[in-house]
Structure 1
Amino acid sequence: MGIVNIDDDLHDQIRKASAVSCRSINAQAAFWIKIGMLCEMNPTMGFNEIVARELRAAGVEPQAVNVATP
């Protein structure tokens, strides 16, 4: 584990995103770092594809959501 120096504006964005995502600031930063690394390593995959792949690898099977029409 180490210390990462980031810009104050980026830290503010991480803090705001962490509140929305119900993650700690460190967990939010780690999530963005991991997703960014996976995006660079898999440039033909989209964000949702990468997250779904990671969920499946963790044993979570994403299910489609049925949207009710009015």
Structure 2
Amino acid sequence: MGIVKIDGALHEEARRASTIMCRSINAQAEFWMKIGMLAEANPTLSFNQIVKMQREAAQAGGPGAMAA
């Protein structure tokens, strides 16, 4: 665990999104980072496909799966 400095405007966006998605600001930032990493690693997949893949992995108890 560590501290990551981000732009104030991005922090505000994370705060707003976290309220809408009922997540903490940290959980929202972590969600965005993981989705971004997966999108870079799988450039042909859409956001919805990535979330579906992660949801299925979480239901199967797969390693590194995140709840969406």
Same fold (TM over 0.5): yes
Structure 1 match to 2:43: 43
Structure 2 unaligned runs (5+)?
A: 61-68
Identity across the alignment (%): 60
Kindly provide the CA deviation profile for residues 22-54 of structure 1, in whole angstroms up to 9, marking residues without a partner as x: 000000000000000000000000000000000
CA distance in 1, matches of 2:21, 2:5: 22
Q: Which has the higher helix share?
A: 2
TM-score (norm 1): 0.83
Structure 1 match to 2:65: none
Structure 2 match to 1:30: 30
- Displacement of 1:7 in angstroms is 0.3
TM-score (norm 2): 0.86
